Amino acid sequence: MADSQDNVLNLLKKSEEFLKKKNIPSARLDAEILLADLLKIQRVKLYIDFERPLSLSEKDEYRERIVQRSKFKPTAYIIGKKAFFDSEFHVNESVLIPRPETEELVAWVLEEYPNKENNLEVLDLCSGSGCIGISLAKARKEWKVSFTDASESALEINRKNIQEILNTERSFELYHGDLLSPIPNETKFDLIVSNPPYIPESDKPSIMPDVAEYEPHFALFVSDFQGFHTKILTEAKTKLKPQGRLYLETHPRYSSWLKETALSLGYSQADLKKDLSGRDSFVRLIL
């Protein structure tokens, strides 16, 4: 029989203390997210039901989750999902965990295309979980959205998210290969939107262990930022319709370089946009 030490309140307190000792920065929040998901309730409901006792199996599973988090495994990977925009996405260690900054990129694109009747061809390049393209497709039912990624295991997660989030008869093309190389020659897009790998490998030592030890390095880091992004800009030019647009999330340190390089490659317009932290994290290029 469970005693008062096994209730929600006490287990949250113990877990928070344990995670703090392990230098987990968001100890209380993570303890709450992991427990609420385990109990299949909203996090706010924990506060309504502090005295609820946990069964032995629930305690064991919760303890295992807390131990994983203490080793810096991201909470999203432990529970297998992450909220992004207005949906919940399946994630595992094959894909990056969707970030709030990328929500800003999606919001920017939607702000620039408010007409829901427009029938646009859109590509989510380096799609990962598919969070960008799926969020755009959910908000703009008339858009034809395609996805491409170099990782087949990432595309499996992408497919699962399409099926569960969009729940529609619409068809979506998913291409497996390096950048735009798998896209058929005749296929052209009005918009290409991407959060490609952009962290220089030299920055690895400064990256938090949650990210550096668990998230897929091929989706995060580039050994040659300028060479890799020149390839993106060059290939995108061949896949954009006249006046087509390329939206990129990028490293603020390189945003001005991206703008100048795009103009030198023949794009007609290049604009930077700041994120909510005031950094030039987004670039819009018009052919």
pLDDT at 177: 97
Amino acid in position 244 = G
Beta bridge partners of 148: 125, 175
pLDDT at 174 over 80: yes
- Are 125 and 153 members of one domain? yes
Give pLDDT, residue 49.
85
What gap in Å lies between CA 259 and CA 285, rounded to an integer? 8
Give 244-287 pLDDT, tens digit per residue: 999 999 999 999 999 999 999 999 999 999 999 999 999 999 99
Q: Which of residues 18, 49, 71 is at a domain's end?
A: 71
Which of 45-54, 55-64, 147-156, 179-188 has the least mean pLDDT? 45-54
Q: What's residue 57's pLDDT?
A: 95
Quote the number of domains for the chain: 2
Q: Which helix (H) or strand (E) holds 255?
A: helix 255-264
Tally DSSP H helices, then E strands, for the chain.
Answer: 11, 11
Q: Which of 161, 162, 92, 150 shows the shortest CA–CA distance to 126?
A: 150
Buried b / exposed e along 225-236 (16+ C-beta atoms within 10 A): beeebbebbebb
Kindly state whether residue 2 falls inside one of the protein's structural domains.
no
Three-state secondary structure call for residue 218: helix
Cα angle: 213, vertex 134, 284; to 5 degrees: 85
Q: Which residues are annotated as a binding site for substrate?
A: 195-198
* pLDDT for residue 188 is more than 90: yes
pLDDT at 117: 81
**Which of 71, 95, 119 is the last residue in one of the domains?**
71
Give ∠ CA 101-106-112 in degrees, rounded to 5: 125
On whether the CB atoms of residues 137 and 87 are closer than 8 A, the answer is no
- Which pLDDT does position 2 carry in this prediction? 45
Mean pLDDT of the chain: 95
- Whether residues 121 and 258 share a domain: the answer is yes
Instruction: For residues 117 and 254, state if they share a domain.
Output: yes
Tens digit of each residue's pLDDT (9 = 90 or more) over 127-167: 999 999 999 999 999 999 999 999 999 999 999 999 999 97
Q: Is residue 77 part of a domain?
A: no
Tell me the C-alpha distance between 187 and 175, whole Å. Answer: 12
**Backbone phi, then psi, for 9, in 5-degree steps?**
-60, -50
Q: Both 180 and 142 in a single domain?
A: yes
Q: Tell me: do 222 and 95 sit in the same domain.
A: yes
The predicted-structure confidence for 35-53, as pLDDT tens digits, reads as follows 999 999 999 899 888 889 9
**Domain assignment of residue 76, yes or no:** no
Q: Residue 47 has what pLDDT?
A: 86
Q: Which residues are annotated as a binding site for S-adenosyl-L-methionine?
A: 149, 195
Amino acid at 249: E
| Higher local confidence (pLDDT), 117 or 70 | 70
pLDDT class of 239 with cuts at 50, 70, 90 = very high
Sheet holding 121-125, edge to edge: 174-176, 144-149, 121-125, 189-194, 240-249, 280-286, 269-274
Structural domain harbouring 112: 82-286
Binding residues: 149, 195-198
Per the CB < 8 A criterion, the answer to whether 231 and 265 are in contact is no
Angle at 108 between CA 104 and CA 110, to 5 degrees: 115
Reference 11, options 31, 40, 36, 30; nearest CA is: 31
Does 91 lie in the same domain as 53? no
- Is 31 within 8 Å of 66 (Cβ atoms)? yes
